[in-house]
Amino acid sequence: MKQQIIVSGIGGQGVLFLTRVIAQAAVNRGLPVLTSETHGMAQRGGTVLSTIKVDNFASPLIRAGQADLGLLLWEENLSVHQTLIRPEGGLYLNAATAGPGERIDASAIARGLGNAVLANLVLLGLAVRKQALFCCVDECETAIRQLAPQKFARQNLEAFHQGLNHN
Amino acid sequence: MKQQIELLMGNEAIGRGLIEAGCQIAAAYPGTPSTEILQAVIDHREQAEEPLHIEWSVNEKIAFEVALAASYTGKRSVAVMKQVGLNVAADPFMRTAYLGVKGGMLTIVADDPGPHSSQNEQDTRLFCLQARVPVLDPASPAEAKELVPLAFELSEKYEMNLVLRPTTRICHSRQNVERQKPLKLERGANFEKDPTRWAATPAFLPPLHRRLNAGLEEIAREPGLQPRLTKGDGSRPRVALVASGIACAHLVDLLDELGLSGRVDLFQVLMPYPLNPEFSARLRQDYSRVLVLEETYPVIELQLAHPGTVGKQDGAVPREGELAPDIIHRVLAAFLDLPAPPELPVQKRGQRPSLCPGCPHRAAFYSIRQCFPKGIFPSDIGCYTLGLNLGAVDTVHCMGACISQGVGFYQAYAQDGEFPTIVVTIGDSTFFHAGIPALINAVIQQARIIVVILDNATTAMTGGQPVPHLGLAADGRKTRAVAIEPLVRASGVDFLEICDPYDKPRFEKLLRQADNYIRGEQGGVAVLISRHGCIMDPAVRKAQPSWQVSVIESCVGCRRCVDAFECPALSMDSEQNIARINPDRCIGCGTCIPVCPVDAIVREETS
Ligand code: SF4
Ligand code: SF4
């Protein structure tokens, strides 16, 4: 299944890690995958954007209105990155307040787990529960285990599960 | 055996490719978007079949010269940098084109169309055209990796330094990439003396130049590097698309989405310079209209000299910025008479970058600004460029320019009489890169300026590469540490103080002392080393006390902590007109406490 995904947030929120988890799930399934990331100056607390393109693509970038799915870790980025998402595309946000898209206060849940950065995996859990992604629970767990430093693996999986089971 | 597929960033793919190709000497200076290439070599070094020397050189010129000499011994070597780093290495780079190399030598120069993290968008391919050095322009991480062994072979066949030029979107893309077994070349170092070449005086240069030109003509015809044609179905005769680098990848996806794949002839140019003259001739003969898509400058376009070219020269393709897919869509629609895509909404900016919460640079900048509200503040390239947000950075030019600019400002004012306080800020890595000669110059020119060396013991902007005073080599081995203080003293500086900028009263006292010194009878350059480890280093965080910091009701909403100090953990609650601290982002450093004029920022001790 061809899928174009954006992950949006600010530097330090773990946008890159979330991107890698999703891309690794594609690799594990044997699908071609391309991602792009923001590095350098913008990473210092500024708005960052990753794109993920699963299946046969040549370019890592996504044109306006072509993304099937948006995962937003920073609500204020909605006005910046929404134009990339198809009108009927899925939209998942880490937000404490009401508004467009499926929302979850992932930061609060992550804080409860002892580390605000885990909001990224909480949000992933929500998106997977809603079957918005090409990959399933097991595939995400495997990818998280592969990529998380060993001593944080359990905490990371816990964050993913909290998102998965949240109503 | 099943081929191993890995998800690799473009830079990791290139780094891995270097090891697989038997590269034995790798030298670099970090800079976005090139940094992770050497890091990948470090990470994969265990897999190398041969001894491997890896270094973070003090600057790009040195990295190039180290790799060059290694190539003279017959071994494969690489110098890695970003596009503006090639300016620093320009001197040896130009001469190497004439003298050539022995063992395969690549210069990997990562360009930054956009530009995302650079002071300009310069195109390394154009630099190569000027230097007469062949350059390869990959369109994906996997292709970048594939080109590495081929480039080494050709470098040895033609005894030429070759350039591999990935761009930001290649460097920082990830793709599924195949792993190969690293080569075992079993080469011992063997430098064959030939002063007519390796020490060529002007008398020997014309024949070397002739040899270079002959080599370029041959390599332009190398079969493995020819433009790759994806044939169309003839429905659009005498029309061709020519693209290189990531622009070609964007174009391929776009054609697919528009249902135009395989409908129009598409050439991917792998080697933009030297362009095969037969390719140019064929285009002139077989096509009336040619769209050329390339980042950043019209390098292919200039060499093609096709009268029906649509590209940067006629303005059909934007002459600046990244050729993002949406832009290519617009250009292609106009070229092929397709319906024009809808106008893009104006892109909002989003959150601006800023120094990290607790960053020692913020404390230093705030004090500098407080002490010298009318000062002039030349600064430089690194995290600390973000001192712009605090009004404590007025100029940023290129690596190491800040001290010389400080001197220039001083001389211009001083010749009229009065001079303002000029506070130059320069990071520790930048100081080693290009600051030392500039400091010596400032001293002998008797400039009266304050130079604050922002020493956070790392190259922070690019992710924390070791600096010379750390005593660590690229691969983590211990090495001799070269301290900053004796270098400053040996440069002839008499006023030298060291202070942790977290200690605001002392830091400001020293700044005032420095100002008195530069204005005194025997005054000259004053140096203050602002020393506190980078907060991104977990060990630094662990070693410093942390408080629960909060804003109490006496806050009068003056915004000073938010606007003038701008810690990202602080924001204004506009409804209550009170400052708030975001607990997810605050690291409890307490540097904001003395900033509040009414003492509304307070702390409680935590463990
Ligand atoms: S204590 Fe103050 S300056 Fe330090 S991180 Fe927290 S809000 Fe920022
Ligand atoms: S906390 Fe202090 S500096 Fe910040 S807005 Fe309130 S009164 Fe002003």
pLDDT, position B606 = 58
Q: Which residues of B fall in the annotated binding site for [4Fe-4S] cluster?
A: 555, 558, 561, 567, 586, 589, 592, 596
Q: For chain B, report the end-to-end CA distance as a whole number of angstroms.
A: 54
Q: Which two tokens stand for residue A126?
A: 């929500």
Tokens 């301290």 correspond to B483
Nearest by CB to B351, from A19, A58, A76: name it.
A76
B378-400: b (≥16 Cβ within 10 Å) or e:
bbbbbbbbbbbbbbbbbbbeebb
How many residues does this entry show for chain A?
167
CB of B589 sitting under 6 A from ligand 1: yes
Quick one: which of B204, B205, B143 has its CA closest to B171? B143
Domain A3-165 carries which CATH code?
Answer: 3.40.920.10
The percentage of residues in chain B with a pLDDT greater than 70, rounded to a whole number, is: 99
Q: How far is A26 from chain B (nearest CA, A)?
A: 9
Residue nearest to atom 6 of ligand 1 (CA): B586
Residue nearest to atom 3 of ligand 2 (CA): B596
Residue of B nearest to A19 (CA): B174
How many residues does this entry show for chain B?
607
Chain A positions touching B350 (Cβ under 8 A) are 46-47, 76-77, 80
Q: Which two tokens stand for residue B114?
A: 């956009």
Q: Which residues contact B541 (CB under 8 A, 6 or more apart)?
A: B358, B535, B587
pLDDT, position B1 = 42
Q: For CA atoms A43, A45, A46, A48, give the dihedral sign.
A: positive
Residues of chain A where predicted confidence (pLDDT) is lower than 50: none
Q: Which residues of B fall in the annotated binding site?
A: 555, 558, 561, 567, 586, 589, 592, 596
**Cis amide linkage into residue B342, ω under 30° from 0:** no
pLDDT, position B607 = 47
Residue A21 has a CB neighbour count (10 Å cut-off) of 27
Q: Which residues contact A154 (CB under 8 A, 6 or more apart)?
A: none
Nearest by CB to A34, from B175, B461, B568: name it.
B175
Quick one: which of B299, B294, B235, B300 has its CA closest to B264? B235
Residue nearest to atom 2 of ligand 2 (CA): B596
- Chain centre distance of CA B497: 31
Domain B4-219 carries which CATH code?
Answer: 3.40.50.970
Whether B4-219 and B360-539 share one fold: the answer is yes
Instruction: Give the H/E segment covering residue B440.
Output: helix B436-444
Residue nearest to atom 4 of ligand 2 (CA): B561
Q: How far is B176 from chain A (nearest CA, A)?
A: 6
CA distance B569 to B582: 5
Tell me if A44 and B355 make a contact (CB, 8 A cut-off).
yes
Phi, psi at residue A57, to the nearest 5°?
-130, 160
Long-range contacts of B40-47 (CB under 8 A, 24+ apart): B40/B8, B40/B9, B40/B11, B40/B12, B40/B13, B40/B14, B40/B15, B40/B16, B41/B15, B42/B474, B42/B475, B43/B12, B43/B15, B44/B15, B44/B16, B44/B19, B45/B19, B45/B475, B47/B19, B47/B182
Q: Are B265 and B230 in contact (CB under 8 A)?
A: yes
Tell me if A59 and B249 make a contact (CB, 8 A cut-off).
yes
Phi, psi at residue B380, to the nearest 5°?
-150, -160
Q: Are B114 and B86 in contact (CB under 8 A)?
A: no
Residue of A nearest to B344 (CA): A64
pLDDT digits (tens, 9 = 90+) for B69-127: 999 999 999 999 999 999 999 999 999 999 999 999 999 999 999 998 889 999 999 99
Q: Are B63 and B57 in contact (CB under 8 A)?
A: yes
Q: How far is A64 from chain B (nearest CA, A)?
A: 7
Name the closest ligand to CA B554: 2
Name the closest ligand to CA B586: 1
Is any Cβ of chain A less than 8 angstroms from the Cβ of B353? yes
Residue B234 has a CB neighbour count (10 Å cut-off) of 9
ipTM of the complex: 0.92
CATH class of B360-539: alpha beta
Q: Which residues contact B315 (CB under 8 A, 6 or more apart)?
A: none
Query: Helix crossing, A119-129 with A137-147: angle to 10°?
Result: 160
Is any Cβ of chain A less than 8 angstroms from the Cβ of B262? no
pLDDT, position B2 = 52
CA distance B410 to B393: 16
Tokens 């070269």 correspond to B482
Is any Cβ of chain A less than 8 angstroms from the Cβ of B119? no
CB of B560 sitting under 6 A from ligand 2: yes
**Cis amide linkage into residue A38, ω under 30° from 0:** no
Query: Helix crossing, B60-72 with B90-99: angle to 10°?
Result: 20
Q: Give me the residue spans of the domains in chain A.
A: 3-165
Q: Which two tokens stand for residue B147?
A: 């080109």
What single letter denotes the amino acid at residue B458? T
Question: Is residue B259 left, alpha or beta, with left meaning phi > 0 and alpha meaning psi from -120 to 50?
Answer: left
> Collapsing DSSP states into helix, strand and coil, what is residue A95?
coil
Residues of chain B where predicted confidence (pLDDT) is lower than 70: 1-3, 605-607
pLDDT, position B159 = 97
Centre of ligand 1 to C-alpha A121, Å, is 26
Listed by number, the residues of chain B in 551-590 with a beta carbon closer than 8 Å to a beta carbon of chain A are 568, 583-585
CA distance B351 to B348: 10
Tell me if A63 and B326 make a contact (CB, 8 A cut-off).
yes
Sheet holding A33-36, edge to edge: A102-104, A85-94, A67-72, A3-10, A47-54, A33-36, B173-178, B5-9
Q: Which CATH architecture has domain B545-605?
A: 2-Layer Sandwich (3.30)
Name the closest ligand to CA B583: 1
Nearest by CB to B350, from A24, A26, A77: name it.
A77
Q: Are B93 and B81 in contact (CB under 8 A)?
A: no
Rounded to two decimals, the pTM is: 0.93
Quick one: which of B389, B380, B401 has its CA closest to B359? B389
- Determine what percent of chain B falls in helix, strand and coil, rounding each to the nearest 5: 40, 20, 45
- For domain B224-336, say whether CATH 3.40.50.920 is its number: yes
User: For B167, how many CA atoms within 13 A lie in the half-sphere containing its CB?
Assistant: 30
Q: Are A71 and A124 in contact (CB under 8 A)?
A: yes
- Chain centre distance of CA A9: 9
Q: Give me the residue spans of the domains in chain B.
A: 4-219, 224-336, 360-539, 545-605
Q: Choosing among A39, A57, A117, A139, which should be mutated to test the B contact, i.e. which has the most B CBs within 10 A?
A: A39
Centre of ligand 2 to C-alpha B559, Å, is 5
| Shortest-distance atom of ligand 2 to CA B554 | 7
| Shortest-distance atom of ligand 2 to CA B601 | 1
Q: Are B402 and B447 in contact (CB under 8 A)?
A: no
